[in-house]
Amino acid sequence: MKKLYLFGNLKMNKPTCDLTEYLKKLSKIAKSSENVVCVSLPYPYLGLAQKLLKKSKVLYGAENCHYEPKGAFTGEVSVPMLKEFGCNTCIVGHSERRTYDNETNEKVNLKLKALLKESMTPIMCFGETKDERDKALTKKVIKTQLSEGLVDLTANEIKKIVFAYEPVWAIGTGVSATSKQAEEMAKFIKEYLAKEYDLTVGEIVLLYGGSLNAENAQDILSKTHIDGGLIGGACLDVNKYEKIINTVVEE
């Protein structure tokens, strides 16, 4: 059986049930699963997550961070602050932040360094737009996002990152990549990272994200180079998320 990494991302949403109930249920679901379960939450909910998930198997974290440890950055939250709330993970470079908040590869790189310095697991997102795919630029775009995002990181640090391939055209659209498309990219990404940073393919953890749901999870997650999923919309309903968490695939 392959151990899957199932990472929910609430974004700026509340789950369909009360958050306390949601987190308690998630904790119970994770307990009876062999898979790794994680949820990313808006900053104001991290205190509640800390209270309810501290003793549970569920990992939790933020959806963003600032790269400086402290200072005059109104409205921002630093990595040491996230640590105070017991966060294990933090999303970096999500396409929504790249699009709406000017999260450049350079900023992604600074955030990765800040998180790794504090021994937190970064979830590094990247992926091509529809236009880039149509112009056959997918691999080029991804290589740039990875090489610029990973500047000056050692192989040992890169091993600690959870990578999330998220084609922008599949995020929140209800149209996921096919399992064949996702696997083709996952293989390319793992082989590229292994070659560039002197790692083995097996040392890289790679998630697929983009309209992953209870119906397509089995098909996509069973692919050889895909280790799990980053789940937006379908994690808001804990019962739907449960179905994804309970996916069982052969090694």
Least separation, in Å, of the C-beta of 15 and ligand PGA? 13
Which residue lies nearer to ligand PGA by CB, 126 or 197? 126
Rounded Cα gap, residues 166 and 186, in angstroms? 10
At 90, give phi and psi (nearest 5°): -155, 135
At position 31, the amino acid (one-letter code) is: K
In 3-state terms the chain splits into helix, strand, coil percentages (rounded to 5) of: 45, 15, 40
At position 23, the amino acid (one-letter code) is: L
Site string for ligand PGA, 131-170 (x = CB under 6 A): -----------------------------------x----
- If binding is defined by CB under 6 A, does position 231 make contact with ligand PGA? yes
- If binding is defined by CB under 6 A, does position 209 make contact with ligand PGA? yes
Least separation, in Å, of the C-beta of 64 and ligand PGA? 13
Residue the block writes with tokens 């104001």: 44
Which residue lies nearer to ligand PGA by CB, 78 or 112? 112
Rounded Cα gap, residues 176 and 201, in angstroms? 24
Least separation, in Å, of the C-beta of 226 and ligand PGA? 14
* Active-site residue, 166 included: yes
Rounded Cα gap, residues 30 and 34, in angstroms? 8
Rounded Cα gap, residues 113 and 194, in angstroms? 20
- If binding is defined by CB under 6 A, does position 211 make contact with ligand PGA? yes
Answer for which of 161, 230, 244, 245 binds ligand PGA (CB under 6 A) is: 230
Of these residues, 63, 96, 132, 166, which one is catalytic? 166
* Active-site residue, 225 included: no
Q: How far is CA 128 from CA 16, 144, 238, in A?
A: 30, 11, 29
- Least Cα distance to 241 among 72, 90, 1, 27 occurs for 27
Rounded Cα gap, residues 121 and 80, in angstroms? 13
- If binding is defined by CB under 6 A, does position 177 make contact with ligand PGA? no
- If binding is defined by CB under 6 A, does position 79 make contact with ligand PGA? no
Answer for which of 15, 122, 149, 232 binds ligand PGA (CB under 6 A) is: 232
Least separation, in Å, of the C-beta of 231 and ligand PGA? 5
**Residue positions annotated with a catalytic role:** 94, 166
Task: Give the interface with ligand PGA as residue ranges (CB under 6 A).
Answer: 9, 166, 171-172, 209-212, 230-234
